[in-house]
Amino acid sequence: MYLYRSGRRRKTPLITLTTALALISPGNAFKLPWPFPAKRFTGNSLIDAGTMGLSGDNRVVAFGDFNGDQSLDVLSLASDQQTLSVYHWSHEAFSFQNSGSFKHPRRVYNVVPGDFTHSGKLDLLVMSQSVTANQLELTLYPALVGGGFDVNHSMFLPPSTLAQPIPIDIDGDMKIDLLGIDPSASQGPLKIWQNVWNASQVDSALFKIIDAPFHGSQCSLANPHSNAVVDLDGDCLADIFLVCNDEKGGQSYQIWVNNKDDGFNLSQAGLLPPGTQAISFADINRDGTIDMVFPTCAHVSSSTGVGTDCYINIAFNEQLQLCASSTDSGVKKGVRVCRPPEDLCTSDPNFRFNLTDSPDNPAFMRFPLSSLFPLSPSLLVLDTSLKPSLPVPIKLGDANLDGYPDFLIITVSGKRERVPSLVFSVPCEDGIAGCVSNERQKRGWKVATHGADTLEAIKDARGVSFLDMDEDGTLDIMVQRTGDAGQGHVLFIQNNFYYDAFFLKAIVLNGACNNGWCYSLNSSERYHPFGVSYSGASYKYTVLDTTGHRSAAQVGQLPQTSYHSLQTPYSFFGLGRTNNYIENLFVGTTIHSKEHFINMEGVIPNSKVVILPSAKEGEAWKRELFLRPGEWIPWVTVTVIVGTIVLAIIVFVLHLNEKREDELERRRVSHHINFDAL
């Protein structure tokens, strides 16, 4: 290739593409520097990431951001069921690192991380064995500002019955209260451990037991139960779902609707199907409402925890849908018939769950587990490796970011091999499990087999959970193991599938330190109250897909904390494929003010939103958006730089040409003879 200039032919050799490729070829001794780090995980599959620093016989019992660095940490329990250890996530080491351990004096049944002292740090509420039969001993270990917990000044709280209490904000002050049963109560079974902590008072009590503000016939809580704090009537205000013991020996449920200062009203009650196991909550069909998912098994072995003849059940929440048009007001003849996109937090007092198994009931569906796993038709529903046994619920999370929750379950073969499986929600077609002939259900479920060899190789699973390791925007998997295979008790699996879709993470904080800097009482050390989420926040959003179709979805924040539920403090939801911002993101809290929610417009996908609500009427909420650069950011940077250089060269060449033309024009003008002047 040659350059030509001023009519003279001058040879100027240029580096051709072939020469450039030769310079960077593997066999060439000269190697160009590579500015990007090598990928830690390669391959489009689920990849074995190892124990990630959790060695020994530890069992993960809770998640939380204990050091406020916006990374997910874990709390583990040793095999003695007394030693608790906190592992902080290290981005540089890409593993969990032990930050300290302590031993509780009695056998631990459950641990709930939460900011009970409203200090901006996560405390630990430990539920353990009591010296009194049929009681739970409640102990709080306050967080220390410099890290760790004050094990020398723990707080002994009023006990509860064996039915584990759940955290709830009962009075709208965003302080964590508890709902449970007081073993010494003489009136009414349900009580509230009301948070009355005052840090400025010496020897201040943490809880005061009061009657639950429930208006209706109360039930006796089951043990174990699947009680939840989640919005069920669609007003972005958390309601209460209770699992009760039925008089006939079965189980029933109650739904109590939150009326803020007027307490809770019993909205719905009914019987649960025979053989019902742990209940999970998620927006299964992406219609902007929270549904119920649970297995039922005809027989469950008390020694192995394995259920046989099992079904997967889904109860859809019947309430107001999203309006088809953005211009639709949602009101016809004075009656609200749908929710417009800009008004999603509208209560529907007529919402309901219909658990009747009938072809005439499109709001309830069930399909046999054998339709998904013909060779492993049994389901692990109880983890008997701990005493007392723990329920093993169906774990829900959007692993492929398409906006529809997927399943994590543990199946059991005839050889008693306990294999964890990932089950994707997929559009209905022939041969897909769960597809029925009704207009409501357009999706079914399919077991992930491609790239799932790591899951299939595990034969001793006793628990599974979704989590986002390293906060990279993908839901990874944690498998708890019995250790019988000699490969450790915890295994992390990196979700390395590539999905052409977006995600969003969100967390509502508890308003500690007036949403500003927190200061310790005895020093000038300050810190942000990151990580102190609470049960009861709610998210609703609308998004447009690539075809322009608008859909709504709802996600709850930390709705369940009992019996090692292992739910993350943040909410994670896939957005599917979209070429736009999130139109409306409604964030609801449990604040007892006129407006307990806000509407955020134009939220950027692939980001994390931190909401700091204010309990003061009329005071603006603080919002923070954190963007995590994806793996493609360096390539975009290189493309921009190269494109800028190319454009600069083009502009420079054009400038030189223009300058040369101007010079020629000036010379022509200077040689022009004005004959009229002669």
- The percent of residues in the chain predicted with pLDDT above 70, rounded, is 91
Burial of 174 (0-12, 13-18, 19+ CB in 10 A): buried
Contacts of 643 (CB under 8 A, 6+ apart): none
Task: Give the pLDDT band (50/70/90) at residue 522.
Answer: low
Does 677 have pLDDT greater than 60?
no
Q: What is the bridge-based pairing of β-strands 338-339 and 321-322?
A: parallel
pLDDT of residue 676: 61
The total of other beta-carbon atoms located within 10 Å of residue 425's CB is 22
* pLDDT tens track for 31-57: 445 555 667 888 889 999 999 999 888
pLDDT of residue 36: 57
* pLDDT tens track for 615-648: 787 788 999 999 876 666 777 888 999 999 999 9
Over residues 117-146, the mean pLDDT reads 94
Task: Render 111-148 in DSSP notation, one character per residue.
Answer: EEEE-TT-SSS-EEEEEEE-SSTT-EEEEEEPBPTTSS
* pLDDT tens track for 284-316: 999 999 999 999 999 999 999 999 999 999 999
Does 24 have pLDDT greater than 80?
no
Domain boundaries, the chain: 45-508, 512-631
Kindly state the DSSP code that residue 205 receives in the 8-state scheme.
-
Let me know how long the chain is.
678
Rounded CA separation 373/368 (Å): 9
* pLDDT tens track for 420-460: 999 999 999 888 998 876 556 689 999 999 999 999 999 99
Going 324 to 327 to 330 to 334, the CA torsion angle's sign is: negative
Q: Which of 19-28, 352-361, 473-482 has the lowest mean pLDDT?
A: 19-28
Over residues 415-419, the mean pLDDT reads 90
Rounded CA separation 143/149 (Å): 4
Residue of 473, 208, 445, 117 whose CA lies nearest to 312 = 445
Does 469 have pLDDT greater than 80?
yes
Contacts of 182 (CB under 8 A, 6+ apart): 158, 160, 161, 191, 209
Does 1 have pLDDT greater than 70?
no
Please tell us whether the domain made up of 45-508 is placed in CATH 1.10.20.
no
In contact, 177 and 240? CB cutoff 8 Å: no
pLDDT of residue 295: 98
Q: Give the sheet arrangement for strand 538-544, strand by strand.
A: 550-556, 538-544, 582-588, 597-603
Does 3 have pLDDT greater than 50?
no
- The percent of residues in the chain predicted with pLDDT above 90, rounded, is 72
In contact, 323 and 338? CB cutoff 8 Å: yes
Does 14 have pLDDT greater than 60?
no
